Structure 1
C-alpha cells in the first residue's frame, strides 16, 4: 500500500505495552482521562456487574468493551466487584455479546476506560477446567508477534495485542480490533526481539480480521497453518498470546469444546446486530492481549485466531476464528480487492470526536473535540460545533456522518456545513486525510 497515506502521529513508538488507556486530550486542555493500574492476569480489564456475569474485552489492552448480557446466563452464577471508572472517549468497538444460551463474551474494541483500581472477583459456575497458563517456550514463540499501538494520535492512549507472521517479508495476520483506531503500530517478533513499524494493508471489521505489513522486514519465520475443517471436539489445543499486554508471550493449554459456533454482536454504532460464525470454542485461559494470537493444535500448527473469551465464571471459554476463513479474507486483502466488508488501507478521516449528548438545539451531529492539524480543525470546526451536512446532504446522527465520510477516499474533497457554539452557520471544503485504522 502507499505508506504516504499512513496516519502520522507525533510521538515515538512505545518500547513496552503499558496496560492503561487515556482518552485524547481536547484542544481546550481539559482532563480527558487518566492511567489506570495494571490488572492481574486473571482480572478483567473492565468489569460491569450486570445480571449474572460480566463481559470484558480481550483485544488491545486499553480498549475495554462496555457490554451487557442480552439474555440471562444459563447454569452459571458469579459475583464481580467493579473495576475502574469509564473514560470520556467512546471507542469504535462492539458492545454486547451473547451465545444462544445467553452467556456473555468479551467485546471487540469499545470505550476507552478511565481511572480507578481494579476490584477483585469471585465466581461459581459450571464448565470445563482450565490449566494454568505458562511462559511460552522458544518453539511456541516462533512466528508469533506482539503488537503495540498508539490510538487516535494520543501517546497516552495505547493498546496491545498479538499477531502471526504469514510471510518472510513481514505480512502479519491479526484481529481487526487489535489495530482498530491505531495511528501508530509497532510489532515485535518475539523469537528475535526485533521491532518494526507496521502499516495496515487491509481490514475486515465484520469478521474481525486484519493484515499488517512490517517495514523493512525480511527473512522472518512464518507460522504453519493447518486446515481448521479437520478440528474435532476433544482435541488438545493451546493458545499463545501477549497476555495482559506485558510483552511476554504466555501459553494456555486446553481442549476444543465445540466447532462452528456463533456469537451475536451488537455494535455501539449500529442499530443492527452482526455475528461471528464458524468459531472454534476452547477451554483455554484466554485473557486481554491474547487477541490476534494463534490457536494451535498438538502439532503446533495454527488452526485459529483467538478473538473472544467469556468472563464472570470460574470456567473460562475462549473463541477462535477458524483459520480457513481467516486466510481467505487475508488473501482478498493481499490482492487489494475491497468489498462491502473488506477495506484496503486506511479510511478517510475528518478529524472530529462526536459528543454523546447534544448541547445545541440545532439538528446535526455534536462535536466534543477536534484533532489538531486535521481537516476539521483547519476548516475552523471547534468543540461545541454541530455538523449539519456533508456535500449538501443533512446528517443528524453519528452513523450518518460516519457513513458519509466512509463513502470517500483519502484525498477526496468534501464540503462540510456546521453551526458553531454561538449559533453561527459555516461551510467549508476540506481534503480528507488518512485516519486511524478502521
Structure 2
C-alpha cells in the first residue's frame, strides 16, 4: 500500500512537471509576432522589419551610424560670436527742482543740473557671447536664434573648419519665434537643405549640430521625444495670444552655445533650429527643443523679403490647459469653456478679425486648420504662423457638439488689414505696450497712459534702464494716452524723451531719452 502511494505521488509529480514545462513553453518562450499589435488594425508588429507582401522595409529602421548625415550637416553649421559694447545709461529719475530753476527756467541749466537728461548716469560693461547658426543659401544667409544675436554691436561668423571668419550683418529678427537672419559676404557656401518637419515622427533618429560650450563643431544624436511642445519661454503678456511655441522635443544632448544650430534627420536635412533646453541647472538635463523647419522657412522668407515677419492672426483669445485646470465649473461656464473637449476653445473673438469674419463665437472649439488636426494652442499658433495676411484658410470647429467648416477665410494682420507691415519706430522700442484701461488709470490717479508690460530686444533695453511696470504719460511735450498716439510721435521725432512713473514706486517722475535713429533690434 505504501509502495502504491509512492508510485502515485511520483506519477502526479511527473504529470505536474510536464504540464509546467508545456505551459512555460507555450506562454513564456519568445512569441512570434502577429501582423498587428495592441488591438490595432493598422500598426504592424516590428514595423521596421515586417511589411505584408514584401521582405524589406524601411525608412523606419535605424541607420547603422550617422556618418553620412554628420558629413552633410557639419559644414553648413557655423559658429556665431557676438560683442555688446559698454554703454552709458541713466536711471531716469528726475532730480528735485531748485529755486533758481523756478526763477530762471530750465533752459538756463544743463541736463546734469535740471534732471531732464534722465538722472544719474552709469555704465553697463560690455559682454561677449557665442552660439550657432545654419547656412541656408550659398550666398551667405544664415538663420539663428534671436536670443543669440540680441543687442549685439558686432556679429562674427566662423565656418566649421575655423579657417574663415566673417563680419555678419543683421537682416531681421522675430522675437515671437526666437528667430533671426544674418548675412555674411561670401559665395559658394555649403548650405543645408530644408526637410519637412510635418513628416517628423516621434521615435525617429535626429542629430543636433552646433558649437556648445564654445567648443568646435559638435554632433550629438537622439530621438524625437514629442512634437508641438510648448514650454512657456515666450510670454506675450498682451491682449492676444501671439507667442509661438510648437517645438520638436528631442533627447539629443544640447548645451549653451547650441542655440541657433541645426536639428537634422538621418539624411542630413534641416528639420529644426535648436532653441532651448529644459534644465534646472542651465546645462543639458535630458531634453532639448527645436523650432520646426516649416515655420522657420516662412519666417526666414519674410525677413529676407520684407525685413519683418508678415504675421497673420485669427484674432481670438483662448483658454490654456493650465488656466482651464485652475478654474471652477462656474467660471468655465461663464466664458463658455468645457474640460472635456480636444481643440482650442475660444474665450473671445476680436472685432474686425479673421475669426469674426468667419462667424466664430465665444465657446466654439477650433479642431482643424486646412484639414490639419488641432489638439492644442501650440499647434494652432504654428499652423497660423505659416501664413501671411491675405492668405486664405479653412477652419473646422465645433459648436454645440456639431462640426462646421468655414472656407476661404482671409487672414489679417494685427491691424485688421492685409497690407504689408513695415518695421516702425514703435517696433524698434522692443516692448510689449498696452493702453491703460479707465479703471487702471483711475486706480493710479491719471487720466490715461501707456503701460510697459515687458521689454525685450530693442531701443528701450539698449538705451535706457526702464523696466516693466513703467507708465508712459508723455512723449516729448505730447501727452499720450494710447499706443497709437505714441507711435505717431515716434514717427515724427527721432530724439524723444519718454516721461512717466512707476505706480508701485510712488510718485517720482522718470525721464528716459531715446533716439529712434540709433541702434535697435533691426539696425545693427
Identify unmatched segments of 5+ residues in structure 1. Answer: 1-133, 352-360, 366-373
Distance apart, 1:137 and its partner CA: 6.3
Give 1:176 shift.
1.2
Do residues 279 (structure 1) and 364 (structure 2) align? no
Helix, strand or coil at the partner of 1:264: coil
CA contact (8 A) 2:236 2:243 kept: no
Alignment partner of 2:299: what SS? helix
2:207·2:264 contact (CA, 8 Å) conserved in 1? yes
The corresponding residue for 1:331 is 301
Q: Indicate the residue corresponding to 1:211 in structure 2.
A: 181
> Secondary structure at the residue paired with 1:319?
strand
Which of 238, 253, 257 is equivalent to 2:221?
A: 253
Q: Which runs of 5+ in 2 are unaligned?
A: 1-66, 88-124, 312-420, 431-443, 451-458, 502-507
Tell me the TM-score normalized by structure 2.
0.44
Structure number with the higher strand fraction is: 1
- SS of the aligned residue for 2:301 comes to helix
The higher-RCO structure (CA 8 Å, 6+ apart) is: 1
**Max Rg structure:** 2
Q: Which has the higher helix share?
A: 2
Cross-structure match for 1:150: 83
Shift of 1:276: 3.2
Alignment equivalent of 2:198, drawn from 187, 204, 229: 229
Q: Which residue of 2 aligns with 1:71?
A: none
CA distance in 1 between partners of 2:290 and 2:195 (Å): 14
Query: Would you say how many aligned residue pairs link Structure 1 and Structure 2?
Result: 280
What is the DSSP-based 3-state SS (H/G/I as helix, E as strand, rest coil) of the residue aligned with 1:257?
Answer: strand
Deviation at 1:345, TM superposition (A): 10
Shift of 1:349: 6.5
C-alpha spacing 1:252/1:393, structure 2 compared with 1 (3 Å): farther
Matched residues in 2 for 1:229 and 1:207: separation?
Answer: 17
Please report how far the alpha carbon of residue 188 of structure 1 lies from its aligned counterpart in structure 2 after TM superposition: 1.1
User: What is the correspondence of 1:112-127 to structure 2 with a 5 Å cutoff?
Assistant: none
Shift of 1:161: 0.9
Output the CA distance in 2 between the equivalents of 1:430 and 1:152. 17
Matches within 5 A, 1:7-26: none
Change (3 A) 1:407 1:146: farther
Q: Distance in 2 between matches of 1:407 and 1:235?
A: 53
Conservation of the 8 A alpha-carbon contact between 1:200 and 1:346: no
1:389 aligns with 2:359: no
- Give the corresponding residue for 2:497: 416
Post-superposition CA distance 1:317-346 (Å, at most 9, x none): 111111011011111111116357687699
Of the candidates 190, 193, 201, which is equivalent to residue 163 of structure 2?
A: 193
**Structure 1 residue 267: Cα displacement:** 3.7
On the 8 A contact 2:80/2:156 being kept in 1, the answer is yes
Change (3 A) 1:425 1:188: closer
Equivalents in 1 of 2:301, 2:516: separation in Å?
Answer: 31
2:232 aligned counterpart, secondary structure: strand
State whether residues 346 and 437 of structure 1, in contact with CA within 8 Å, keep that contact through their aligned partners in structure 2.
no
Asked if 1:432 is matched to 2:517, the reply is yes
> For 2:250 and 2:133, how far apart are their aligned partners in 1?
19
